[in-house]
Amino acid sequence: MKDLPNKIQWHPAFYAAVELEFKEDVRELNLTEEYNLSKKPICIDLLIIKEGDRDKILKNEIGHIMRKHNVLEYKGPDDELSIDTLYKVIGYACLYKGYGKKVNEIPANELTVSLFREAYPRKLFEELEGEGYRTEKKYSGIYYVSGMQFPVQVVVTGQLEREAHSSLRVLSDQVDIEDVRTFLKNTGGMTDVRERKNVDAVLQASVNANREVYEQIRRDSIMCEALQELMKDEIELYKKKSREQGMAQGMAQGMAQGMAQGMAQGMAQGMAQGEAQLIRNMHKNGLTLDQIMVISGKSEAAVMDILAGREPMVEAV
């Protein structure tokens, strides 16, 4: 559908995926999105500060390198991860240290830098090795860079182990359906409000970037049920709003007509108009056609008609 938004909000989804990655330790971490380094528009993509013991090793292997203060930079599927990007992030870490409220409030030996990208940055590694730095594959998809001012790791999300890192693996514009299946399985039982919001944010980006894959999922009854279960709060909210708005409009029209038949007809028409308005609102807020179909329960043709301005038909009572 050509008029649906093309801009994928990768960074909010990345923040959510990182929280899901560190869910076992998240209560002891302070994660700050777009941490401003100064009054000017210079900010860190994601800053993670360990609230407890700086020497505690986080359970997720991405966190094994991390110390007290940890600077994270994320590059979306279309973004380049170059030698200049690495030095820019190192510079951010230096600025972050320098902006402490007192001298050496943030010791250099308590800082780490992590860069995330889906594809393997071959040119970056070649340039690093050409400058005398050493890169080591520590875990699947996780590479340590030795010899720099701070401990540095490059996380290649497309190479991460599927089961342990499904939250980051689905942040792709060419997502593997098995990654989606694993993500749905791993997150299906989450009930915590914070976790559910993170799951929704990751799905929002992944679905928007991979409509054809999620259309296949929609035709898979088991996976579609899992997807609907993850989105059940949003579905119920839209249905509730639809019922309330439709009933209010219908009663107003029915009262104006002044007869029982007119009341019923008015309520039915109002309900249809209320649902149509909610579908337009979902479209306006960036939901994909597939998401709108799942939430509203309507066919693709019905949704397309509503978005094209063709009012829903209501049978006579």
With a cut of 80, say whether residue 32 has pLDDT above it. yes
Confidence band for 88, pLDDT divided at 50, 70 and 90 = very high
Categorize the per-residue pLDDT at 256 as very low, low, confident or very high, splitting at 50, 70 and 90.
low
Q: What are the structural domain ranges in the chain?
A: 10-230, 233-307
Which of 21-30, 190-199, 208-217, 264-273 shows the lowest per-residue confidence on average (mean pLDDT)?
A: 264-273
pTM of the model: 0.70
Amino acid 36: pLDDT = 85
Over the chain, what HEC string results? CCCCCCCCCHHHHHHHHHHHHCCCCHHHEEEEEEEECCCCCCEEEEEEEECCCCCCCCCCHHHCCCCCEEEEEECCCCCCCCHHHHHHHHHHHHHHHHCCCCCCCCCHHHEEEEEEECCCCHHHHHHHHHCCCEEEEEECCEEEEECCCCCEEEEEHHHCCCCCCHHHHCCCCCCCHHHHHHHHHHHCCCCCHHHHHHHHHHHHHHHHHCHHHHHHHHHCHHHHHHHHHHCHHHHHHHHHHHHHHHHHHHHHHHHHHCCHHHHHHHHHHHHHHHHHHHHHHHHHCCCCHHHHHHHHCCCHHHHHHHHCCCCCCCCCC
Q: What local confidence, expressed as pLDDT, does residue 182 receive?
A: 95
Over pLDDT 70: what percentage of the chain? 78
Q: Quick one: pLDDT band at residue 198, thresholds 50, 70, 90?
A: very high
Structure confidence by residue, pLDDT tens digits, 61-72: 999 999 999 999
pLDDT tens for each residue of 275-294: 787 788 777 776 777 778 77
Rounded mean pLDDT, 36-62: 88
The pLDDT of 154-158, averaged and rounded, is 98
